[in-house]
Amino acid sequence: MSDDGLIRVPGLVNGHTHAAMTLFRGYADDLPLMEWLERHIWPAEARLEPDDVYWGTRLACAEMIRNGVVCFWDMYWYPEAVARAVRDAGMRAVVGAPLIDGGESSRSKQLRETAIHSLDAIAAAGGDAVRPALAPHAIYTVSDESLRWIGETSAERELPIQIHLSETEEEVASCVEAHGVRPAAYLDRVGMLGRRTVLAHGVWLDAAELDLIAERGATVVTNPVANMKLAVGGVFPYPAARERGVAVGLGTDGAGSNNSLDLLSDVKAFALVQKHVAGDPAVVNAHEAWEIATGRRSDLLANDGADDYIEVRGDSPELSLGELEAGLVYAASGSVVDATVVGGRTLMRDGVIDGVDEVVARARERARRLGIDSPVGVEVPGVGS
């Protein structure tokens, strides 16, 4: 600890999110997944413009910087606006456009054009701090033909892939019915299961799928808080994944479904839910959980920026006594983070982020434009009626 009580530790890596969904925070909460998506989120997303995504992402970046996140993996519309926001905020991110063809191979050509265009646009807008990725939404929204093309393109161009996998039990049943195999085996069949692939969720993976994922070297990013809030009914089988040496990361998922981007709070939820479900407090320890939250249990998520770190307040009530990693995982929240530094540039010091007031004001304006700004206790005409 330095004289001022600050302790330097690695920054956190948010392995799965949809940053601009901060715009939908607190909107249509407490609903089942498909009803939430189909009746509320998708109609609102249809009205999105690039500037909405830009300011929503800036708001997410401010929140993540405040909570000690230095790098995140993002899948969202107008990814060039996401990339520009990441660059302007000073963070790092792996950014991909959601690729969807509705499972129709006749629309695969259009998906490819979107993908190629977005990769170039992300690279041009984001600069060095942003890595373009391929982000097929899920196996139930993308055709076999497109998934094969994504697998080939990832291999040829050495691009990361991020995809939602095995989030609900229904997804597994539909996959078995349509393809005769479970989701991980299906991804392997279409050439998408490899070292550059992040699988978000993995709630319903079985033992054979975990064997396959370990063998292929893909990373599973678990999103325990979003999964519990949407009540998906299961928990990522972490003990079985660890036994097989599966690379694991931690994500918040979007603020529409979490609703927080505080990974320090989610790492506690991750450790607790795993212990609780296994009936064994030793099933994950603080050291492991901390490594997972900082991306160090996956070569793909590992953030090798030597000048990326955070400083936590060692004299805060939460961290003043006891072992540091246990304090960070079980006692702390983002409020212990004093400074966040990315690429040697200080993005927050003394808990203060320059320009955050403008970011909040502009994000509020954009949410209002979308008709979804309804602060608690305030009646907004036209909303919810």
Q: Which stretch binds Zn ion (CB under 5 A): 20-28, 76-84, 171-179, 245-253?
A: 245-253
Residues in Cβ contact with 310 at an 8 Å cutoff, skipping those fewer than 6 apart = 8, 9, 10, 11, 12, 68, 70, 337, 339, 340, 341
Pick the closer one to Zn ion by CB: 57 or 340.
57
Judged by CB under 5 A, the chain residues 247 through 306 that form the site for Zn ion are 253
User: Which is it for the CA torsion 170, 30, 358, 49, positive or negative?
Assistant: positive
How far apart CA 240 and CA 336 sit, in angstroms, is 32
- In sequence order, the β-bridge partners of residue 312 are 7, 337
User: Cβ of residue 254: shortest distance to Zn ion, in angstroms?
Assistant: 6
Cβ proximity to Zn ion: between 221 and 293 the closer is 221
At its nearest, how many Å lie between Zn ion and the CB of residue 200? 5
Comparison of 95 and 286: residue with beta carbon closer to Zn ion: 95
Closest by CA to 147, choosing from 173, 119, 186, is 186
Q: Is 80 in the site for Zn ion (CB under 5 A)?
A: no
Nearer to Zn ion, 203 or 329 (CB): 203
Closest approach, Cβ 164 to Zn ion, in A, equals 5
Q: How far apart are CA 17 and CA 1, in angstroms?
A: 32
Contact 208, 166 (CB under 8 A): no
* Smallest distance, Zn ion to C-beta of residue 53, A: 15
Question: Per CB under 5 A, which region of 4-12, 233-241, 246-254, 269-277 contacts Zn ion?
Answer: 246-254
Nearer to Zn ion, 41 or 61 (CB): 41
Q: DSSP string covering 360-375, please? A: HHHHHHHHHHTT----
Shortest CB 120 distance to Zn ion, Å: 24
Question: CB 175 → Zn ion: shortest distance, Å?
Answer: 18
Chain position whose Cβ is nearest to Zn ion: 253
- Distance of closest approach, residue 21 Cβ to Zn ion, in angstroms: 9
By CB atoms closer than 10 A (0-12, 13-18, 19+), residue 376 is exposed
Matching residue, tokens 């931690």: 250
CB of 307 to Zn ion, least distance (A): 29
Count of residues that interact with Zn ion, criterion CB under 5 A = 1
* CB nearer to Zn ion: pick between 53 and 342: 53
CB closer to Zn ion, 18 vs 196 = 18
Q: Taking the alpha carbons of 37, 231, 161, 367 in that order, is the dihedral positive or negative?
A: positive
**Taking CB under 5 A as the rule, which mask of x and - marks residues 196-235 in contact with Zn ion?**
----------------------------------------
Considering the complex, state which of residue 58 and residue 201 has its C-beta at the smaller distance from Zn ion: 201
Parallel, antiparallel or unpaired: strands 309-313 and 6-9: antiparallel
Report in angstroms how near the CB of residue 346 gets to Zn ion at its nearest. Answer: 30
The whole-angstrom separation of Cα 385 and Cα 41 is: 16
Give 90 or 224: the residue with its C-beta nearer to Zn ion.
224
Q: Is 37 exposed, middle or buried (0-12, 13-18, 19+ CB in 10 A)?
A: middle
C-alpha closest to that of 261 among 114, 65, 29, 42: 65
Which positions touch Zn ion (CB under 5 A)? Answer: 253
